[in-house]
Amino acid sequence: MASTTITVTGMTCGHCVSSVKEEISELPGVTDVRVDLESGRVEIDSTAPLSDEQIRAAVAEAGYEVVA
């Protein structure tokens, strides 16, 4: 089990949170995604480590950006 924490910018509502959760959840091996709208913090649990590129691409697909 692997856990990754990132910060996403640009989310302003529940729909934003849903979009980010949906895109990240589609990555292979992801078992849980928790998003805190106020802080932009996203915690991802997966069966194996995820690459930064995978996560950034999923967040970009939802229309947002990972803070470096």
Residue boundaries of the structural domains of the chain = 2-66
Can you tell me whether residue 32 is helix, strand or coil? strand
As a whole-number percent, the residues of the chain with pLDDT over 90 amount to 99
Closest among 9, 11, 12, 19 to 66, alpha carbons compared: 9
Average pLDDT value over all residues in the chain: 97
What is the structure's pLDDT at 29?
Answer: 97
68 pLDDT exceeds 90?
A: no
Question: Residue 14 corresponds to which tokens in the numbers above?
Answer: 């529940």
CATH assignment of 2-66, among 3.30.70.100, 3.50.30.50, 3.20.20.100, 3.90.1150.10: 3.30.70.100
Reported as a single tens digit per residue, the pLDDT across 20-44 is 999 999 999 999 999 999 999 999 9
User: What residues contact 20, with CB distance under 8 A and at least 6 apart?
Assistant: 8, 11, 33, 35, 42, 59, 62, 64
